[in-house]
Structure 1
Amino acid sequence: MNHILLTRMYSSGTVQKSAKLIRNEFLEYFEKDLGHTFIRSSPVISLNDRTVAFVNAGMNQFKGIFLDYYDPPAMKVTNSQKCIRISGKHNDLDIAGNDSYHHTFFEMLGNWSFGSYFKKEACHYAWDLLTKHYGIDKECLYVTYFAGDEKLELKPDLECKDIWLSIGVKRDKILPFGLKENFWEMGISGPCGPCTEIHVDHTKQLKNRSMQVNKSYTDLTELWNIVFIQYERYAVLSNGAIVPLSKHYVDTGMGFERLVAVLQGKQSNYDTDIFQPFFKAIQKYTKAPEYGGKFHNDKNELDSGYRILADHSRMITVALADGVVPEQINKLRKMIRRSIDVGEKVFKKEGILSELTYIVVENLGDTYPELQKNLKKILNFIIYYAYYIVQKIIEFEENLYKKLRYTCSKQWTKIIKTYPQLKSITEQLAPGLEDGYKYLQHVLHDLKMANILPGNVAFKLYDTYGLSVETITELAEIESLYFDKKVFQKELEDLKNRSRIGLEKSDVTAMKKSLEILEKNNVPKTDDSFKYKYTVNGNNYEFPKIESKILALIINGNIILNKANESTNKDINSINEIITNYDIESDKEEIGVILDKTLCYSTQGGQISDKAIICTKNFNFDINNVKKINGYVIHYGKLVQIDLRKCIEELKLKDDCLVLIEPEFRIGVMKHHTATHLLHASIQQIIGAVYLRNYIIIPQNLKCQFNSFGESLSLKQLNEIEELINNIITANVPVTTRILNTSELLAENSVTFIPGEIYPYNDIRLVDIDFRDLKSKEACSGTHVLKTGELEYFCFLNYFSKAATNFTLKATVGSLARSAKLAGENVQYKILDLENKLKNEKITQETLKAISKGIENEIKNDNNTPIPYLIKEECLVKLKYLNKIIRKQKEI
């Protein structure tokens, strides 16, 4: 049956299109008929943008192109993007389930032009698809265009209006709207432009409803938004001026769920075949009455319960499958707990959320293969690996929530008696709620005078008492205080930056003035790309020695610029005063040196910075810590046998220097960073649901903390991990690094991201280790060896777990690992010898006991030469057994 005949049958109501077919027709229309390139959906977690927690629109993954950071993968593309809207400007969390068309998770169908076509083609493509291919009656459609804005000196988009007229849209169905409805902006600055929207009348009435467009009617909704990115807003200008862009782009987005409702003739998105499978699964699992589709007079909130579970299960499953962690995204945890509550209170049944994950993967797995990756077949049953991971996390969260409710219920009753106003708080089980509210009460008298909740007070509620932004907002509303979110977000951003580069708050405060002076005097940022430029000559790594220039010194937070950069002395204290206040003998007093280029690695993530030396003609400077702030690499350390005044005079006269890193220190760090990647990949392979919380890499060892959602590693699993890693070391597999932009990175398969990490748009380093038994592919800015064989040997030094959520592993590689192995084998020989002596009974029981005690002390006190953890545990078990035999022989 041909495509045209099918379309006629669909429009006449003979055949109802399935949601899958509707999605495929959209993509095929742009890909096959109009020559667009298909780009798969990005993960729902934002990789580059700190301003949004989740990808909330189809354009998010193309933001780097709009900002001109890199070239597009193709001139015109199409895709179906997974989107989540539960925070920020687009927040549908509290609406989802209560109306017919808002969802926390939805799919955005889109097409983009990065210079290939513009307004005329975009409008024609959209109109033809809706009216000709999908067969929607033209009389049911309304279009809007930008009406202009006098303040911003933007004229009405009459070009767009004329295009719609030329297409054949009636004049009275082409409607002008202002900035709020028909002007799209990425943020307070950046690319922007007018948009045109297509709205659909679900009732299919023939009467003109133009006056009801954009008036929040549930049966007259926006269907497709077509954005013309042709301007850029500069927030730095006093009036926020908008200027034309040299390049013009098209960015369109159509809500898939709304489109399906229209084509299937449904008044509610929930009545389509997207959601009906969820309702059937819930009804079958709980034996509850069938879904009735009621939005009013909903007895016992049954139908809203159906909708909430269906909506939330889609969002939760997709988010977890894409690597979002409830521990880090409080709203995700809130949605899981809300779903649990609805399941238990409305449907009187536990475990519904886990059951619904199957429906999510069955319905979305074809379109988003990442939901069903690592497909495994056992006999005639198909088991999705993704199910295991998602369900394990959900079950862990359910158990955690149950325990929290049990332990906190009495406490909450007590709190409500004291503070009845807190009844309306959503997160009643937040551990720090009572103490946080007491703190707020303490400062409330001063706050009442201004009727404002300052950002720094809110930040303390967040940072010290662990309250979420939502709870803080609710507390502010209870006390009739305005919540200053801008200051709060600034404090939060400062915290993230300090954590990323290892600075205390006092350090950041001291650095602000220094950085302002550097930027004011146009001191160039440091080029540190040389840290990745090293080679192997035989078995030896060679690191370059680079000539550099000293741009500035930082002493006690005071900046001293070299003669070339210094334009004024008004911004700095006198040199004599700086020198007088500097205690050169104190270990705490360090000088910071800023260079124009360096090969030193600055502390980032968990990798420690390099040790190095800066050499000039007359003095040396030992570097023991390197930090990068706002593009300036600051080398902290001590002068070697030279007076500080002479050093400053040297800086004023001549700023040339030579920078050399300590090779063995760097090599040790590189080996352990590569080993960290192998450890991360092997743990994921062994237990699946796990994520790396943080790590510390030094030349001697690595230490990683994981969240495994309640699962601990057994000795057998630890042994399997050691074997996996040592096999790949023996195979001497290449460690390759590729430099990618965001678009290229998202096109890669099976990349491991660190939850919560924000990656740049450009110059992302993808470290790849590919072996038949173990594969590691991770975006990482660290330094690595070039072949796994250089690690020599891997072994665990320690393993311990904390509560039910976290475990920590300490390990080492190289000569240290081999020494540890030899030390362990030495202890094993001693235990074997002890066992033989027990059999021969040639020595006294007291002597045997003394030998046993000595071996045990050697195992437990391995400070000088550590013993591998697995050998240590094996030996301790063996000793315990032998001691038992010694005691029995003594009794006889």
Structure 2
Amino acid sequence: MTSAEIRQSFLDFFRSKGHTIVPSSSLLPDSPNLLFTNAGMNQFVPIFLGLQPCPFHPPRAADTQKCIRAGGKHNDLEDVGLDTYHHTFFEMLGNWSFGDYFKREAIEWAWELVTEVWGFPKQRLYATVYRPGPGEPAEFDEEAWEHWARLFRAAGLDPEVHIRFGGKKDNFWMMGDTGPCGPCSEIHVDLTPEGDTRGALVNQGHPQCIEIWNLVFIQFNANPDGTFSPLPARHVDTGMGFERVTAIIQGTRGLRQFAGVRISNYETDIFRPLFEALERLSGRRYGSTLPRPGTAGETEQERADVAFRVIADHIRTLSFAIADGILPSNEGRGYVLRRILRRAVRYGRNLGFRQPFFHRLVGVLADTMGDVFPEIRARREQVEEVIRQEEEAFNRTLDRGLQLFEEEVSRLQTAGAGVEPRRISGDFAFKLYDTYGFPLDLTQLMARERGLTLDTARFEALMEEQRARARAAQKKTIVEVARLETDTPTRFVGYEQLASEGRVLQLTRVQDRWAVILDVSPFYAEMGGQVGDTGELQQGDRSWRIVDTRKAGLVWLHFLDLPADADESALPEPGEPARFQVDRSRRLAIQRHHTVTHLFHWALREVVGRETMQKGSYVGPDKLTFDFNSAPLRPEQLRDIERLVNERILENAPVTAIEVKYEHVRHRPDILQFFGEKYGEWVRVVQIGGTPGGLDGYSMELCGGTHTAATGEIGLFHILGESGVAAGIRRVEAVAGLAAWEQVLAAEQLLRATAARVQAPVGELERKIESLLEQQKALEKQLRALQQKQSAAAAEALLARAERRGDVPVLIARHDADAETLQEMVNALKSRFEGVILLGGVADGAVSLVAAVTGPYTARVQAGRLVQQIAPLVGGRGGGRPDHARGGGRDAARLDEALARARELVG
């Protein structure tokens, strides 16, 4: 069976048992507390908790779920590549019952699928059942034992042999310290040649006895006091490792041969297309070798095979995560992806890659897995572009970091000859991280390859020092907070009113300004992208301008338009009554912009996709900016978003906010919340549309900002532009209300001025511009043809300098020109010359190298390896494919030496 047939047979089987087949949920989890979706049950948590009714009839479902386990509690990253079955990305096949069937059906159907549909030899199967140890929860799962015993007896097998027991660690599942939980029952397969171990290898971590399916029976609630109560409804949650099942079925020739075979997740048609692509790109072959336990490979082939497995695993993780809107970054789940990507790029060096290669594997996934997961096919270009940019960024520093690492290893070997263990210092590892972008685990990997250890404690201490400096920098505007003389929190009333009365609690200097602390304030303090309010403070007949408002713990700092050296007689009187007034027109402009960011977020997800999420924002009186993960938006997408937002504005839907307990909404996927945010017991949900306070709007987000009372108050929404701010992160700048009207008016005036300059009516302006552009294109085409003609002539003149190095025709020459001109010359030569072509030239002080190897000669000379070897001579780097490569450097004085070296390398 192919892997596609195995997956489909699982889904078809449970469809025949009345299950609704549901699509995989996103790798971006609904719960902000999870790094990634790491189990099939994640999307069903609200149903298990009773927060959402089951939408399936009957209440049962099945699917194949994309999962990532790389960071947090579940982390398989360090083991990937070193064995046959660890992955950071995998598929989990599963079936669920929501208060419907329970243990009998779950066990019987699992047995039927595995033994009758797929044909696993029954005598090789073992089931585990929960039996608590001292102090462990609940009781022996006698019900599960009886069901398994009946099936094994019917197969002529002894239940006492084929049913094994496990305690809480192996056979009791808990969602958390409290909440739904229950015993679980696993199916293990004996893969030894004879299959006669009688269960001795079950749960022993042995590669010849593998767990393939876990059946979880959710029947208890774990209470805060440590007791367990029966749930009113009992559920089934199962998870099967798709890659493991495929490896067993395909590795045993369809379950017919268990002796003399190799059972490996990587020896399947799931990974074979990726390996074939890597073999074509690198010129290396996958040899299926495994390193000795405790090593990272002791031979070149072992190290290459580890690299094949790591790269094939990691491209799946990166591609599917990016397709689901999770992008590499410097924090949270984004940093996990960046670490994985850089790990793959580093392993690429073991296969000879010096130029970006990783992104070229995305197409393989789109071709082989796009039918099951259409998002990878739909977003292929975006995924490729994000990975390519990340590769290029890391490649710029990778060579230097590797060179420094080798120098450090050499220093250690010289200084500590004969002394063990040798250790990489935490200071050096931190330097690689801070200066060259090497994640700690990448440095640990390189150290392990060289038989070295690493001082992680010192590294973490330096990291904490850096975090402390960052925290201090973020708080530089409130450096005087520690000297506050009040512990009375400011009571914010600005949601309901723009003016209030109260007292000045304290005056304090903050750097070069005076700030006042009030007991009651209508001023919004800068937070969550929304700028702080301005306004006026009055005491009697005296008044002061408030120019900004910031938070300092639980108090608000209201900055006065006074320098720090102002005479104290010019300041408000502490303890005296005062009146506070927010700048109304400015606040209303801010509220329009903040409310419309929620509408924009909603429309963005409607047009681009649900995986698109906010990554930052600025909300001021003059404009708004909104950062989000996405490929560049097309003009028609921007138009659609703008139209949807303005349609919602015209509906004049209510905008309401409600304070709720976070526990009540944390699992609501329709209420947007953000990973990494620390939410308290109570949160504020801003809702647009629906019943006020009903948590049923079309836009709902956790937000502490101020907003309009209805969408109609926004007036008009207009997008000014869209641009990139980081790899995979886009920014839209927009305006609303009067600011939008002013922008539209300015655009109209510009349009009329442009029409006058090109002497065309406004209605004919587009046609006139198109005509001018066509003229420009014609001129560019003529110039390009002339350049190509000149390059071809220059290439023709070089043919006379061809020679033979051994039995290989060679044309290695210098022609001072830029890289693109040299490329055109090489292209022209390839149609006239068969053999090795290498041109080098200098233009504007930069050295360019372009190589091509034609016909059968790539078996003798590889262009990528040739450029890779000579580029360092000109102070640069390069590489590419066996048939084509480019490189460059800055040391023009050594170009002739580099070309001479190339001739030596060829023959």
User: TM-score normalised by the shorter chain: which range applies?
Assistant: 0.5 to 0.7
Aligned with residue 697 of structure 1, among 612, 619, 627: 619
Task: Identify the residue that residue 128 of structure 2 maps to in structure 1.
Answer: 144
Aligned with residue 672 of structure 1, among 593, 618, 623: 593
Describe the shift of the 1:173–1:67 C-alpha distance in structure 2 as closer, same or farther (beyond 3 A). same
Describe the shift of the 1:179–1:298 C-alpha distance in structure 2 as closer, same or farther (beyond 3 A). farther
Describe the shift of the 1:27–1:730 C-alpha distance in structure 2 as closer, same or farther (beyond 3 A). closer
Aligned with residue 37 of structure 1, among 20, 28, 50: 20
- Does the CA contact (< 8 Å) of 1:764 and 1:779 recur in 2? yes
Task: Identify the residue that residue 398 of structure 1 maps to in structure 2.
Answer: 391
Mapping of 1:245-284 within 5 angstroms? 245-247=230-232, 248-266=234-252, 267-284=263-280
- In 2, the alpha carbon distance for the partners of 1:106 and 1:48 equals 20
Aligned with residue 290 of structure 2, among 266, 283, 295: 295
Deviations 1:862-881 (A, max 9, x none): xxxxxxxxxxxx9xxxxxxx
Mapping of 1:284-683 within 5 angstroms? 284-289=280-285, 291-295=286-290, 299=301, 301-328=303-330, 329-346=334-351, 348=353, 350-373=355-378, 386-406=379-399, 408=401, 437=427, 470=441, 587-592=514-519, 605-608=528-531, 664=585, 667-673=588-594, 675-676=596-597
Q: CA deviation at 1:824?
A: 7.0
Task: Identify the residue that residue 890 of structure 1 maps to in structure 2.
Answer: none
- Does the CA contact (< 8 Å) of 1:223 and 1:259 recur in 2? yes
Matched, 1:812 2:735: yes
Residue 243 of structure 1 aligns to which amino acid in structure 2?
F
Describe the shift of the 1:107–1:48 C-alpha distance in structure 2 as closer, same or farther (beyond 3 A). same
Q: CA deviation at 1:505?
A: 9.9
Residue 270 of structure 1 aligns to which amino acid in structure 2?
Y
TM-score by length of 1: 0.61
- In 2, the alpha carbon distance for the partners of 1:106 and 1:755 equals 22
- Does the CA contact (< 8 Å) of 2:81 and 2:310 recur in 1? yes
- In 2, the alpha carbon distance for the partners of 1:725 and 1:768 equals 18
Describe the shift of the 1:250–1:242 C-alpha distance in structure 2 as closer, same or farther (beyond 3 A). farther
Q: CA deviation at 1:134?
A: 2.5
Residue 235 of structure 2 aligns to which amino acid in structure 1?
Y
- Does the CA contact (< 8 Å) of 1:693 and 1:705 recur in 2? yes
Aligned with residue 194 of structure 2, among 205, 208, 221: 205
Which secondary structure does the structure 1 equivalent of 2:594 belong to?
helix
- In 2, the alpha carbon distance for the partners of 1:511 and 1:157 equals 61
Structure 1 residue runs without a partner (length 5+): 1-16, 374-385, 424-432, 442-460, 519-525, 532-543, 557-578, 615-621, 649-657, 770-775, 837-873, 875-892
Query: In terms of mean alpha carbon deviation, does 662-671 or 100-109 score higher?
Result: 662-671
Describe the shift of the 1:785–1:277 C-alpha distance in structure 2 as closer, same or farther (beyond 3 A). farther
Task: Identify the residue that residue 120 of structure 1 maps to in structure 2.
Answer: 104
TM-score by length of 2: 0.60
Q: CA deviation at 1:600?
A: 9.9
Q: CA deviation at 1:334?
A: 2.6
- In 1, the alpha carbon distance for the partners of 2:619 and 2:52 equals 32
Which secondary structure does the structure 1 equivalent of 2:616 belong to?
strand
Matched, 1:176 2:165: yes
Task: Identify the residue that residue 42 of structure 2 maps to in structure 1.
Answer: 60
Residue 353 of structure 1 aligns to which amino acid in structure 2?
F
Q: CA deviation at 1:582?
A: 13
Residue 54 of structure 1 aligns to which amino acid in structure 2?
F
Q: CA deviation at 1:210?
A: 0.9
- Does the CA contact (< 8 Å) of 1:682 and 1:724 recur in 2? no
Residue 340 of structure 1 aligns to which amino acid in structure 2?
V
Q: CA deviation at 1:613?
A: 12
- In 1, the alpha carbon distance for the partners of 2:354 and 2:134 equals 58
Residue 792 of structure 1 aligns to which amino acid in structure 2?
L
- In 1, the alpha carbon distance for the partners of 2:211 and 2:113 equals 16
- In 1, the alpha carbon distance for the partners of 2:484 and 2:139 equals 47
Describe the shift of the 1:153–1:727 C-alpha distance in structure 2 as closer, same or farther (beyond 3 A). closer
Aligned with residue 229 of structure 1, among 174, 199, 218: 218
Query: In terms of mean alpha carbon deviation, does 120-129 or 61-70 score higher?
Result: 61-70
Describe the shift of the 1:49–1:513 C-alpha distance in structure 2 as closer, same or farther (beyond 3 A). farther
Residue 333 of structure 1 aligns to which amino acid in structure 2?
R
Deviations 1:619-651 (A, max 9, x none): xxx99869799xxx9877799x99986989xxx
Which secondary structure does the structure 1 equivalent of 2:169 belong to?
helix
Task: Identify the residue that residue 185 of structure 2 maps to in structure 1.
Answer: 196
- Does the CA contact (< 8 Å) of 1:55 and 1:84 recur in 2? yes
- In 1, the alpha carbon distance for the partners of 2:235 and 2:87 equals 28
Matched, 1:89 2:73: yes
Describe the shift of the 1:251–1:307 C-alpha distance in structure 2 as closer, same or farther (beyond 3 A). same
Describe the shift of the 1:56–1:823 C-alpha distance in structure 2 as closer, same or farther (beyond 3 A). closer
Residue 437 of structure 1 aligns to which amino acid in structure 2?
D
Deviations 1:378-403 (A, max 9, x none): xxxxxxxx111000011101111221
Q: CA deviation at 1:120?
A: 2.8
Q: CA deviation at 1:154?
A: 4.1
Mapping of 1:841-856 within 5 angstroms? none
Q: CA deviation at 1:159?
A: 3.0
- In 1, the alpha carbon distance for the partners of 2:410 and 2:503 equals 56
Q: CA deviation at 1:787?
A: 5.1
Describe the shift of the 1:678–1:60 C-alpha distance in structure 2 as closer, same or farther (beyond 3 A). closer
Which secondary structure does the structure 1 equivalent of 2:79 belong to?
coil
- In 2, the alpha carbon distance for the partners of 1:351 and 1:646 equals 67
Q: CA deviation at 1:264?
A: 3.0
Q: CA deviation at 1:158?
A: 2.7
Task: Identify the residue that residue 205 of structure 2 maps to in structure 1.
Answer: 216
Q: CA deviation at 1:344?
A: 4.1
Describe the shift of the 1:779–1:581 C-alpha distance in structure 2 as closer, same or farther (beyond 3 A). closer
Structure 2 residue runs without a partner (length 5+): 154-158, 253-262, 292-298, 417-423, 538-544, 561-570, 658-663, 691-697, 760-768, 770-907
The CA RMSD over aligned residues, in Å, is 6.0
Mapping of 1:757-776 within 5 angstroms? none
Mapping of 1:693-772 within 5 angstroms? 693-704=615-626, 734=651, 745=669
Deviations 1:175-233 (A, max 9, x none): 11222211223344443332211101234735243111111221211111112233444
Residue 114 of structure 1 aligns to which amino acid in structure 2?
F
Which secondary structure does the structure 1 equivalent of 2:40 belong to?
coil
Query: In terms of mean alpha carbon deviation, does 280-289 or 779-788 score higher?
Result: 779-788
Describe the shift of the 1:672–1:253 C-alpha distance in structure 2 as closer, same or farther (beyond 3 A). same
Residue 618 of structure 2 aligns to which amino acid in structure 1?
I
- In 2, the alpha carbon distance for the partners of 1:62 and 1:172 equals 35
Which secondary structure does the structure 1 equivalent of 2:91 belong to?
strand
- Does the CA contact (< 8 Å) of 1:101 and 1:258 recur in 2? yes
Task: Identify the residue that residue 792 of structure 1 maps to in structure 2.
Answer: 716
Which secondary structure does the structure 2 equivalent of 1:270 belong to?
coil
- Does the CA contact (< 8 Å) of 1:741 and 1:763 recur in 2? no
Q: Identity rate of aligned residues, in percent? A: 28
Aligned with residue 8 of structure 2, among 21, 24, 32: 24
